């Protein structure tokens, strides 16, 4: 991929889309998970068997977690996933201890190509993904993200996409990606009479793996 960092197109002018993860994306995930800017924060085994065990069920619709490829102008650039906090008892307990609002969804995300980080694409993708999350889950009150305090890129992207920090501490979690001091970030569902922020954007999200325009 060419590095056009010198004159990047402003993120808000670019077309971000989401599509469901497919089995053909597994090599891409293995590549992204081992990138230097991703590996410390996304600690998952990425051999084919582990990827199939982790993502096969979600591709087959047997896992409640929804996993999407982020596309920029039809090119895959990252991954974003969401789940309902109530579906994960350990996560649910942790968030209850932090007095987090419920019901809530959680998200995780990455931009795979380091040349595409630092352009606002992460913040833009998160913001657009939330527009769809409010529609997909009409009853959730908020979206929550646990992020390591040392992962400044991640929590800055969250702040730029409308999240606020509401808790800091050490999470009681078995997930190695939650190791060490963490922050919990929260974005509440917009009020019904609030102006829609990104409603007329080019973002599309399909439930059958195909784009909708
Ligand atoms: C987190 C991530 C998705 C953010 O995407 P992004 O497109 O880089 O985000 P943005 O461009 O909106 O920038 C976010 C902030 O990170 C900073 N940043 C980006 N690249 C950086 C780099 N290489 N070194 C230091 N800071 C960097 C930006 O300057 C910006 O901060 P600022 O607004 O204070 O200047 C992306 O960096 C990533 O994939 N990281 C690895 C995976 C990960 O950490 N996932 C989250 C797990 S909770």
Q: Residue with the nearest Cα to atom 29 of ligand 1?
A: 118
- Does the structure show a pLDDT above 60 at 200? no
- Using the mean position of ligand 1's atoms as its centre, give its distance from the Cα of residue 118 in Å: 5
For residue 127, report the distance from its CA to the centre of ligand 1, in Å. Answer: 14
pTM of structure: 0.85
**Average predicted confidence (pLDDT) for the chain:** 85
CB of residue 84 inside a 6 A radius of ligand 1? no
Look at 8-22, 96-110, 146-160, 163-177 and tell me which has the smallest mean pLDDT.
Answer: 8-22
List domains and CATH numbers for the chain.
16-190 (3.40.630.30)
CB of residue 35 inside a 6 A radius of ligand 1:
no
Give me the phi and psi of 146, to 5 degrees please. -95, 130
CA of 125 to the centre of ligand 1 (A): 12
pLDDT of amino acid 93: 74
Share of the chain above pLDDT 70, in %: 80
pLDDT tens for each residue of 32-60: 999 999 999 999 999 999 999 999 999 99
């Amino acid at each position: 991929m060419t590095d056009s960092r010198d004159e990047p197109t402003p993120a808000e002018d670019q077309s971000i889309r989401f599509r469901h993860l497919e089995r053909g994306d597994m090599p891409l995930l293995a590549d992204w998970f081992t990138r230097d800017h991703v590996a410390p924060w996304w600690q998952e085994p990425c051999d084919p068997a582990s990827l199939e065990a982790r993502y096969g069920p979600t591709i087959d619709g047997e896992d409640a977690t929804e996993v999407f490829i982020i596309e920029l102008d039809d090119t895959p650039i990252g991954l974003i996933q969401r789940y309902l906090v109530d579906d994960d008892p350990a996560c649910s307990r942790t968030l209850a201890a932090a007095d987090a609002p419920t019901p809530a969804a959680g998200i995780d995300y990455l931009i795979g190509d380091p040349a595409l980080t630092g352009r606002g694409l992460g913040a833009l993708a998160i913001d657009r993904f939330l527009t769809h999350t409010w529609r997909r889950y009409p009853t959730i009150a908020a979206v929550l993200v646990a992020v390591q305090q040392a992962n400044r890129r991640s929590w800055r992207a969250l702040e730029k996409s409308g999240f606020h920090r509401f808790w800091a501490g050490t999470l009681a979690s078995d997930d190695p990606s939650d190791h060490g001091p963490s922050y919990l970030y929260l974005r509440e569902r917009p009020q019904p009479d609030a102006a829609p922020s990104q409603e007329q954007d080019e973002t599309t999200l399909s439930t059958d793996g195909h784009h909708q325009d």
